[in-house]
Amino acid sequence: MKNKLEQIKLFFKDNLIIKNYNNDLRDSLNIEDAEILFNIGLPNSTELDFKFTKEIKYLNNNELILDDSENGKIIYNITNKQVYLLFPSDKKKMILNDGLFQFLFSIYYYELFLNNWKNDKTNRAHYFNDFEKKMNILNHNYESLDYYWEAIIEELSPI
């Protein structure tokens, strides 16, 4: 896990937003989640419209708001280890990932694909296949995650 998180730090550099340390929250998280929130950070993504801040906000006792934008709130349910998107307008929930590690790496693989493709437009199919394979391994059940990542994969497909 340590080497994989180092990849994240090298790739995103200063774009990682580390949450302000909170003893109470730290006590309710597992070691991996605490490492991601308080040492690694979550990457802002212009393409995905994810805008994380350092502040820690709670929706209720077991849910942490990771991103609170007008378009939707990204929430981490500490109890069931799910990251989901909540649309305030209609209160609809869309599961993004099973856990912060999957969430972090889904963003990473997406941004890595876009970065590779921008730098080499002739090999889009190769980069897409690599992205899709990595997402399938990481999110072995992404097709059942309310179509969030599946929709992105379908949208990016060169076919």
Do 89 and 137 have their domain in common?
Answer: no
Do 68 and 8 have their domain in common?
Answer: yes
Do 95 and 114 have their domain in common?
Answer: no
CA-based R_g, the chain, Å: 16
**pLDDT category, 18, cuts 50, 70, 90?**
very high
Residue 156 parent element (H or E): helix 148-156
Which SS3 state, helix, strand or coil, does residue 25 take?
helix
Last residue of some domain: 69, 84, 99?
A: 99
Do 25 and 60 have their domain in common?
Answer: yes
Count of the separate structural domains present in the chain: 2
The candidate with the shortest Cα–Cα distance to 36, out of 65, 76, 5, is 5
pLDDT computed for residue 145 by the predictor: 57
**pLDDT category, 69, cuts 50, 70, 90?**
confident
